[in-house]
Structure 1
């Protein structure tokens, strides 16, 4: 029976990995649809690069940094393609693939905020650094047995908060890190030509294909059923069956609530329900629930999704109109703001130890501390990475390339004739 159970768990993990991999075309279509047609080939190419580079670099080094056991809880050992250090019950090759698709997602988030004006050669550099270094190290702190998830009685987290940091599937580890890096990258690049008038007023630059963007969001919604339930990493036995079913439900409810909240808020604010913002509202709900999808009740999931869907609209407005940071797809709001918000709300709404369920404020403190540490790491790395590239080689294409489109100048071909 144990052998059958392990086989079922392995198949479930690999199926979930396939669903998460399918999020790559979801991100590609969503990003391409929200931007202009003259940059579509560039955007599609970048999404392929994220997975190609991520797969190789995570295999050779990133997986070791993230799941290696040496380094006093702050960094794992590099493996250089030797996976013998991994001692888990699941086949190491399967677990590596599952973690690889998560790594690629973190890098992909950044490309949307920096779309339509980034040198492709420099995109290769920062995508590689995210996959090789930034994501695996903070991933080690949290999912790889590092200090933020060390539940030993004398550990820092337990003595300080009485609990450890919890992020079931990556609201903080994947999405907020991607969102913070996206924000810093967009700041380093500067806005697209024509985005802001001389008086500072923001001008809309509509995407060229909302049908493509909508299809991308539907694909992402589907892929999230691998992202969240797959993080259980097991399907055999009653406990796992119940856990996966619960996570499926909370994930879907939060997505629906996020979309509904954004739809009605935009209807009220702008006089018409916005499709483009509602698509991001669905993603906001999905990002928000990812940290605590295993711990919150179905009603709690609706609350998280609804709050994230509302906050998203104001976050996009604030970043665009007040901060004058040009994020073409709203990645910093969807993934950054809602990733942080969902992680914090897990500390409030967890039915086992949340502050609103009589668990005290220790778990919330652990969640707050964890998200601060993780995102400060991402911010510090992002500042060094993007401004280092900008200083040494230049991050942005020339004005003529940007105005005429990156497809022809960067790739010598166009998606549309």
Structure 2
């Protein structure tokens, strides 16, 4: 990987030359518009982007419901609803101003304002000078916070207790995610260093992946997943139609995730950039899916649909760190490498006996790191050293804090269901209901 990275970076750099030349050229002056119009269009971008990213919650729910066994589907659906609700409350109470403290840092550049609920605009009194409504910004940023928790849900499926998971979600969405995201998006020390993560390949996706990895290590693999002889026991999902639907929902939602991260739609140039982001996002996803098709055929002798679905998602994660500056060909290269990563990393995790039920660690963690580190190949305002430092800082903070929290939860209340419950399925024991009761044989 170390030998191939410079080659890949060179190819991406060459592919991106037209884009960099275009960005360097003087932009033509756009027709002047009123501050009211700018305010309205920027607010509209945040709101549309926000509900598209919220739609990704449905995508995660369907993807996870399809990739877990039928006896655990209801539990996964509940987790996705509960984590979204928890994120909404925690992000308002503490998360938003912890992430965007302005001049009110508790620890300058590191920790923002603690327990300072987000204030909305008064009824009928929007602040035009802000450029967008306070509510639209909060709504949009909240959706990213909830996405981080969704990543953890899938990895730890089929063996984690519900209450410990929800307690961890409170800490992740209220504190861990807002603190590390403030280092970049809130004007913290990584932003001052020149670190760049446009829409969150590391700030959102790798963060969720690091939290999930820590949880998977502490929690352990599912019963019977890895045999004493070193072989693994396949545990196929219950419904690949749902998993495919979930992937397409996530693909659609990603246009809001990346496109609205432009944070402006009040000028001709901003509108053009949002359109460019949409195109690059789609091309990276397409390349990720195709790369996963080819890689799974070469590695396993046949195409694996679950790998293809995750390949598309890995392509999306990879381009999220910088969806604006690459040329279309560069976006294809970036997304394609991400898709191949999603396939190659799975057996590596199995060799380490790290049980990731839905493949979130390869998709969100590893592909997220790849997408962040390769940013300087298309964005000349960044450097590989700074990107690596940023990934390392965010990764170390998230992984260590998550590991400590998981270990404390394990020692105090236990985080794993007993073996009998795991064998019978969590739906009946944890919730007392099943997703597919008509298919259960009468006892």
1:94 equivalent to 2:123? Answer no
Q: Distance in 1 between matches of 2:186 and 2:134?
A: 14
1:408 equivalent to 2:428? Answer yes
RMSD over equivalenced CA pairs, Å: 1.5
Q: Do the aligned partners of 2:42 and 2:131 also contact (CA within 8 Å) in 1?
A: no
Cα deviations across residues 279-312 of structure 1 (Å, max 9, x unaligned)?
0000000000000112222111111111111122
1:243 equivalent to 2:284? Answer no
- Aligned with 1:73 (options 109, 113, 119): 109
Structure 1: runs of 5 or more not aligned: 151-156, 158-163, 354-361
Q: Do the aligned partners of 2:213 and 2:361 also contact (CA within 8 Å) in 1?
A: yes
Alpha-carbon distance, 1:236 to partner = 2.0
Alpha-carbon distance, 1:32 to partner = 1.1
Aligned position for 2:366 = 337
- Aligned with 1:47 (options 77, 80, 90): 80
Q: Do the aligned partners of 2:38 and 2:131 also contact (CA within 8 Å) in 1?
A: no
Q: Distance in 2 between matches of 1:346 and 1:88?
A: 30
- Aligned with 1:381 (options 362, 386, 401): 401
Q: Distance in 1 between matches of 2:157 and 2:241?
A: 19
State the SS of the aligned residue for 1:397: coil
- Aligned with 2:220 (options 165, 190, 197): 190
The 1:84/1:206 distance shift into structure 2, 3 A limit, reads closer
1:346 equivalent to 2:388? Answer no
Q: Do the aligned partners of 1:50 and 1:108 also contact (CA within 8 Å) in 2?
A: yes
State the SS of the aligned residue for 1:394: coil
Alpha-carbon distance, 1:84 to partner = 7.2
Cα deviations across residues 134-183 of structure 1 (Å, max 9, x unaligned)?
00000110101111112xxxxxx2xxxxxx01101000000000011111
Matches within 5 A, 1:84-163: 88-150=130-192, 157=193
Query: Who wins on radius of gyration, i.e. which is larger?
Result: 2
Q: Distance in 1 between matches of 2:269 and 2:420?
A: 59
Alpha-carbon distance, 1:80 to partner = 3.5
State the SS of the aligned residue for 1:174: helix
Aligned position for 2:347 = 317
Q: Do the aligned partners of 2:315 and 2:335 also contact (CA within 8 Å) in 1?
A: yes
Alpha-carbon distance, 1:105 to partner = 0.2
Aligned position for 2:89 = 56
- Aligned with 1:275 (options 305, 322, 345): 305
Q: Do the aligned partners of 1:63 and 1:79 also contact (CA within 8 Å) in 2?
A: no
1:301 equivalent to 2:331? Answer yes
Alpha-carbon distance, 1:75 to partner = 1.4
Q: Do the aligned partners of 1:283 and 1:334 also contact (CA within 8 Å) in 2?
A: yes
Structure 2: runs of 5 or more not aligned: 1-33, 122-126, 438-443
The 1:84/1:20 distance shift into structure 2, 3 A limit, reads closer
Q: Distance in 2 between matches of 1:81 and 1:406?
A: 36
Alpha-carbon distance, 1:388 to partner = 1.1
Alpha-carbon distance, 1:234 to partner = 1.6
Q: Distance in 1 between matches of 2:231 and 2:179?
A: 40
Alpha-carbon distance, 1:73 to partner = 1.1
Alpha-carbon distance, 1:268 to partner = 2.0
Alpha-carbon distance, 1:2 to partner = 1.7
Q: Distance in 2 between matches of 1:411 and 1:367?
A: 43
Alpha-carbon distance, 1:94 to partner = 1.2
Q: Do the aligned partners of 1:63 and 1:78 also contact (CA within 8 Å) in 2?
A: no
Q: Do the aligned partners of 2:75 and 2:426 also contact (CA within 8 Å) in 1?
A: yes
1:370 equivalent to 2:390? Answer yes
Cα deviations across residues 214-244 of structure 1 (Å, max 9, x unaligned)?
0000000000000000111221211101110
Alpha-carbon distance, 1:394 to partner = 0.7
TM-score (norm 2): 0.87
Q: Distance in 2 between matches of 1:107 and 1:128?
A: 9
Segment drifting more, 265-274 vs 43-52: 265-274
Q: Distance in 2 between matches of 1:323 and 1:144?
A: 36
Alpha-carbon distance, 1:348 to partner = 2.3
Alpha-carbon distance, 1:273 to partner = 1.4
The 1:301/1:265 distance shift into structure 2, 3 A limit, reads same
Alpha-carbon distance, 1:88 to partner = 4.2
Give runs of ≥4 in structure 1 deviating > 4 Å: 84-88
Matches within 5 A, 1:209-288: 209-288=239-318
Alpha-carbon distance, 1:258 to partner = 0.4
Alpha-carbon distance, 1:19 to partner = 0.2
State the SS of the aligned residue for 2:416: coil
Q: Distance in 2 between matches of 1:416 and 1:274?
A: 25
